[in-house]
Amino acid sequence: MIIKCNECTKNKIVPVSENKREFRIQNNSRYEINKVTVDGCYITSGLKCDYLFEIINRDIKEVFYIELKGSDISHGIKQLEATIKHCESEHKCVSKKAYIVASKFPKSSTSSQKLKKEFKRVNHIQLFIDTKQREVTV
């Protein structure tokens, strides 16, 4: 578990937002959720995503890497990949998912499908791209 730049909670709703873009966890199971501010705190130089969440049920059960982005999805993917690589040792044997919440991006376009497929092939992690808001239930 990352213990720098973090906040642990069992709240039912755990949100992060930036410039009208929001990622929210609906914590119905009341797991402990470790919210880590990555950009400018946990990682202070180079490429990095905005946040990560460690979902904890005794041990880390799952990790969500979050990038709240304008419209440059390719750059958002590079930020996610850099953070995943940086956190490799902490999250070695843990299920991972990556999320980009963009201000605008065609959700079902062929380009988004290609980006998701390539991300999965390279990183072995599923990538989700949404516009303005994403809610995940744990």
What is the pTM (predicted TM-score) of this model? 0.94
Residue 98 — left, alpha, or beta (φ > 0 → left; ψ -120 to 50 → alpha)? beta
Q: What residues contact residue 27 under an 8 Å CB cut-off, 6+ apart?
A: 10, 11, 12, 13, 14, 33, 138
Q: Cβ contacts of residue 32 below 8 Å, gap of 6+?
A: 8, 9, 10, 56, 57
Instruction: Quote the CA–CA distance of 88 and 82 in Å, as a whole number.
Output: 10
Q: What is the pLDDT of residues 73-85, one digit of tens each?
A: 999 999 999 999 9
| Number of neighbours of residue 109 by Cβ within 10 angstroms | 11
pLDDT (tens digit per residue) in 32-53:
999 999 999 999 999 999 999 9
Phi-psi region of 30 (alpha: psi -120 to 50; beta: other; left: phi over 0): left
Structure token pair of residue 125 = 């992690």
Q: What is the pLDDT of residues 86-103, one digit of tens each?
A: 999 999 999 999 999 999
Pairing relation of β-strands 126-131 and 133-137? unpaired
Collapsed DSSP state (helix, strand, coil) of residue 18: strand
Render pLDDT for 105-126 as a digit per residue (tens, 0 to 9). 766 667 888 999 999 999 999 9
Q: What is the pLDDT of residues 126-136, one digit of tens each?
A: 999 999 999 99
Give the start-to-end residue ranges of the domains of the chain. 6-137
Which helix (H) or strand (E) segment holds residue 8: the answer is: strand 6-9
Q: How do residues 49-73 score in pLDDT, each as one tens digit?
A: 999 999 999 999 999 999 999 889 9
